Amino acid sequence: MEELARRIETANRSYYAASADQQLSDPGQDGMSDAEYDALFDELKRLEERFPQVAAAIFTADRPSPTQQVGYRPLTEESGLLEHATPMLSLANTYDPQELAQFDTRVRKLISAAPASPDVQKPIEYVAELKYDGVAVSLHYQDGKLVRALSRGDGRVGEDITGKVKRLTGGVPMRVDVSSLPTKNFEVRGELVMSKEQFASLNAAQREVGEREYSNPRNLVAGVLNRKQDTDLGLRKKPFNLICYTLMSLSDEGEAGLPPSHQARLEWLDRRGFTVDSRATLCGDLASMVKFVGEWDNTELRDAFPYLIDGVVVKVNAIAQQQALGANNRAPKWAVAYKFGASKAVTQLLDIVYQVGRSGKVTPVAELHPVHLMGSLISRATLHNTAYVEHLALKKGNMVTVEKAADVIPKVSGVVAMNDNNDNGGVDELTKAPRCPCERRVALVREDIDLHCREPSCPEVAVAKIVHFASKQAMDIEGLGEGLVRDLFRQGLLRSAVDIYSLLDDDDNDAGDVSKRAALGERKGWGEKKIANLLRSVEQSRHSRDLSSFLFALGIPHLGKHTAQLLADHFKSFESLMAATEEDLRGMHGVGDIISSSVAHFLHDPKNREDLQRLYAICKPKENTERSRARAARANGEEKPPTCSVSFTGTLSGMARHEASAAAVSALGAVVKPSVTRGLTMLVCGDKPSPAKVKKARELGVEIVSEEQFRALLLRQRQSPEPPQ
């Protein structure tokens, strides 16, 4: 379970939180197809249901299971996080048309059991819309004026992206005439997308200046929104468009002031200048729903469409029926997303090359004769590992099938025609006696089905480590992508992460060699403004990143972002962590033996220690403001003991379990307990609470409150901070 959760969390970070510089086409990175992601997610959910005791031991309030979360919470404190008026949930997915019938059956069963009401107990209709492959955003209008735009974030809390949406997005009215409308304040949700034409123009510009191309429009949109600095994409007009799919009231009168059906709300938006899916179709029954899905489950039709689409969303049309159906903690019960299968094309395999990651893991990548597939020009595709290459018996010159699973990630899936030439072009050499692609050409080590380069001075590993250090989740140095790192490394100007900060030096070195800054100026397309932006980002990274980001940036084997946060919270300072032993690490909750051994070995290795001390002296990672205040209170003898203790049971609908726990600590000064014990102050009950916990709480005289009562208590406490009794 833990490995499945780690892979899903890594994919979530890659999907939701990578910047544009990290979204360049690179099939060896952490990207995975929707189908692969959904398979992992379903398997984790199945295991949790089958082995609840194991799941309870692995996942905690501080680290909830990915099956209980939506999206990915932005990690920067400076990003302007705001709570959604209504949670932005995900959608239940299916790849099987037969499951649409099961969805229809569930909807009809729930509606038949709902309270009698003429608005609910009426014929069920659906609206089928194309599922645009973009980034979900929320727009808030007050008195008809656009006042706020938020990203999805983790579904409960999003990032304020108002400025970027206004500057970069077409089809978003800044003001709507609401003089004759009962609803003056409303929220519009939609998918922020880039057309295939715009995307092709941008990649042509990238090629013109010798930069790597972006992987796909969706990743580019997400990357631009995640950049701290403003971004000039070099296009004449606003490059993004918003395809709106939801309208909700923010007024006191609620939904009564808006049209009573989803279809009517789409028409409402269309009349007021918003862009909606013009193909959206009202389906009176299951047969018409399946027909619409079947029409669009067609690669040729989707290839000709101006935007990338990866499925069809089916929604119950009547708003009253939607409200009666409700939602679970991840998705509404009145909608389902049918995902298209992989799109395919046939092309020639030109070569198989190796790509080396920062851990030394080596991934085979197919070099292909360029082929157009779902709006992208595909010239490279993942081959996963050498066992996969051997299984397909790949040879240079083979005609192969290339798929984009869920129309996003390209991979070679089969051989159509074999190369008749007995010379396989060195593929056997690559798979039987492989060597690292760096100039040292050292033999690779096979570990299970993966290959690793264990050469300490491997240039490919060094480049990958520098790129990781500068990445969004690490030190967040915008502009320092793989292409630039590789060029500076080749010139001997950048050999480790420490060297990044010598970019800030103004003068040439004493030996008269070209300076790093001068080398930047010699790159095609790099003017003074672009160099200044990069240097500003390098300088900002010295003052804006916290200890957990710094630890993650070091690239310690097996240390992910979550565990880096645990270490930062526990040890408080880098000096304390450097002084810790492996036994100290093993004693931490959530840090297993493998990670403990890896962290201790990395930090205590004499070969690493000098660079670590230099990096820490340069970067001086900051600490969370609340933790700094807490430490100051402890130092002054002002720290107060916990005022109460809280435990949770059941599924919370208004916030995730880890958010509720954090709120209990920060607002109430509480200690969060995993179970009901003597002395517990309060048991908060969500949906379907544990009968055993509730019974024990009653026996011990513990106060039992609902989620609504708990949220009201939090609100009162923030307004008048007196500890609960």
35 and 158 together in one domain? no
105-119, 241-255, 521-535 — most confident range: 105-119
575 and 613 together in one domain? yes
Say if residues 293 and 158 touch (Cβ distance below 8 Å).
no
555 and 654 together in one domain? no
- Cα dihedral sign for 483, 484, 490, 496? negative
List the CATH number of the domain containing 366: 2.40.50.140
Question: How do beta strands 644-649 and 309-316 pair?
Answer: unpaired
Residue 494, CA distances (Å) to 484, 499, 519, 674 in order:
10, 5, 11, 48
List the CATH number of the domain containing 267: 3.30.470.30
First to last CA, the chain: 39
514 and 395 together in one domain? no
Answer with the residue of higher pLDDT: 107 or 523.
107
184 and 308 together in one domain? yes
Q: Give domain status of residue 82, yes or no.
A: no
Q: Give domain status of residue 86, yes or no.
A: no
pLDDT band at 509 (very low <50, low <70, confident <90, very high): very low
192 and 322 together in one domain? yes
Say if residues 460 and 372 touch (Cβ distance below 8 Å).
no
List the CATH number of the domain containing 604: 1.10.150.20
pLDDT at 60 over 70: no
Answer with the residue of higher pLDDT: 507 or 387.
387
Q: Give domain status of residue 675, yes or no.
A: yes
Beta strands in 164-286 (DSSP E): 169-170, 186-194, 240-249, 275-276, 281-283
Q: Give domain status of residue 83, yes or no.
A: no
**The pTM is what?**
0.52
Mean pLDDT across the chain, nearest whole number? 80
235 and 210 together in one domain? yes
321 and 378 together in one domain? no
Host domain of residue 56: 1-69
pLDDT at 64 over 70: no
Q: Give domain status of residue 81, yes or no.
A: no
39 and 9 together in one domain? yes
pLDDT at 46 over 80: no
pLDDT (average), residues 573-593: 86
Cα distance between residue 190 and residue 244, in whole Å:
4
List the CATH number of the domain containing 697: 3.40.50.10190
Tally of domains within the chain: 6
> By three-state DSSP, how is residue 401 classified?
strand
Q: Which residues pair with 377 in a beta bridge?
A: 372
- Residues 362-388: pLDDT tens digits? 888 899 988 877 656 788 888 888 788
User: Which residue of the set 109, 122, 131, 344 is catalytic?
Assistant: 131
299 and 155 together in one domain? yes
312 and 241 together in one domain? yes
- Residues 448-465: pLDDT tens digits? 778 888 888 889 999 999
- Residues 75-104: pLDDT tens digits? 443 446 788 888 898 899 888 888 899 999
Cα distance between residue 150 and residue 353, in whole Å:
41
392 and 529 together in one domain? no
Q: Give domain status of residue 131, yes or no.
A: yes
> By three-state DSSP, how is residue 644 classified?
strand
Tokens of 600: 């201790």
- Residues 388-399: pLDDT tens digits? 888 888 888 888
Q: Give domain status of residue 38, yes or no.
A: yes
pLDDT of residue 368: 92
The reply to whether 131 belongs to the active site is: yes
pLDDT of residue 76: 42
Q: Give domain status of residue 640, yes or no.
A: no
